[in-house]
Amino acid sequence: MTRAAIALGSNLGDRLGHLEAANEALESVGRVVATSPIYETAPIGGPEQGSYLNAVTVIDTELAPRALLDGLLDIERSRDRERTEQWAPRTLDLDLLLYGQETVDEPGLTVPHPRMVERRFVLDPLLDVWPDAALPDGTALQGFREGVADQTVERFIDESGFKPWTALAVFLIFNIAAVIIWRIILLF
Ligand code: ADP
Ligand code: MG
């Protein structure tokens, strides 16, 4: 059993839906240990494109690194991911950040992910759920935070499920207040 960290990203279509579906699908490649909060981040590199939602999920897996990557690419395809140019907008991007303390350097698979330490949208959610994550040589990832402090990432608040609850709360408070006032009036 190996603990692995996976970066999730989406900037096309139903971004939140893609991330939620990915987290469910990750159960097919391992046991989900933790899922980070979601961040909204500006795109880095590639063509002009919309902002990303990013998160990191930690899993315990029995799969070897290559089989795990293949599973991740299958999940991307299940969300209609299309590969055009590098860093183009995408419905879902799943990157294998860390696979235990192992190093993999093969065609099509490099672990730890070579750009993870340069990206705040990866480091922040990763360290939220795995504060003592380290590179295979033991270097704590916390140490790379300073180097990316100038990049902006924001916690993403999902407001889509919020309004009906607010409406219900206002309705209930209004009704309770009306009953209390009515009782007071009846006292006189
Ligand atoms: P990026 O994630 O850098 O924007 P893509 O998602 O298009 O780029 O990935 C391109 C290729 O990167 C994938 O087909 C995969 O084979 C390769 N790759 C190499 N190492 C990794 C890794 N650690 N995690 C995910 N993909 C990787
Ligand atoms: Mg990728």
Superfamily per CATH, domain 2-156: 7,8-Dihydro-6-hydroxymethylpterin-pyrophosphokinase HPPK (3.30.70.560)
Per-residue pLDDT reduced to its tens digit, 113-170: 999 999 999 999 999 999 999 999 999 999 999 999 999 899 998 766 667 788 888 8
144 neighbors 117 (Cβ within 8 angstroms): yes
Let me know if 93 is a catalytic residue: yes
Ligand 1 lined by 87 (C-beta under 6 Å): yes
- The one catalytic residue among 15, 95, 119, 124: 95
Ligand 1 lined by 110 (C-beta under 6 Å): yes
37 preceded by cis ω (within 30°)? no
- The reported pLDDT for the residue numbered 4 is 98
CA distance 108 to 118: 20
Q: How many Å lie between the centroid of ligand 1 and the Cα of residue 98?
A: 13
- The reported pLDDT for the residue numbered 25 is 97
- Nearest ligand to the CA of 72 is 1
- DSSP-based three-state secondary structure for 18: helix
Let me know if 137 is a catalytic residue: no
Q: Whose CA is nearest to atom 25 of ligand 1?
A: 95
Strand positions, DSSP E, 62-175: 93-99, 104-106, 109-111, 153-155
Per-residue pLDDT reduced to its tens digit, 61-96: 999 999 999 999 999 999 988 877 777 788 999 999
CA distance 142 to 135: 11
Domain boundaries, the chain: 2-156, 164-188
- DSSP-based three-state secondary structure for 146: helix
Ligand 1 lined by 77 (C-beta under 6 Å): no
More confident residue, 9 or 90: 9
Q: Is the pLDDT of residue 56 over 80?
A: yes
Q: What is the mean pLDDT of residues 12-20?
A: 95
Ligand 1 lined by 162 (C-beta under 6 Å): no
CA distance 81 to 10: 10
pTM: 0.84
Let me know if 128 is a catalytic residue: no
Mutation probe of ligand 1 site: the residue of 76, 110, 126 with most atoms within 8 A of C-beta: 110
Q: Whose CA is nearest to atom 11 of ligand 1?
A: 108
* Ramachandran quadrant class, 132 (left: phi over 0; alpha: psi -120 to 50; beta: rest): alpha
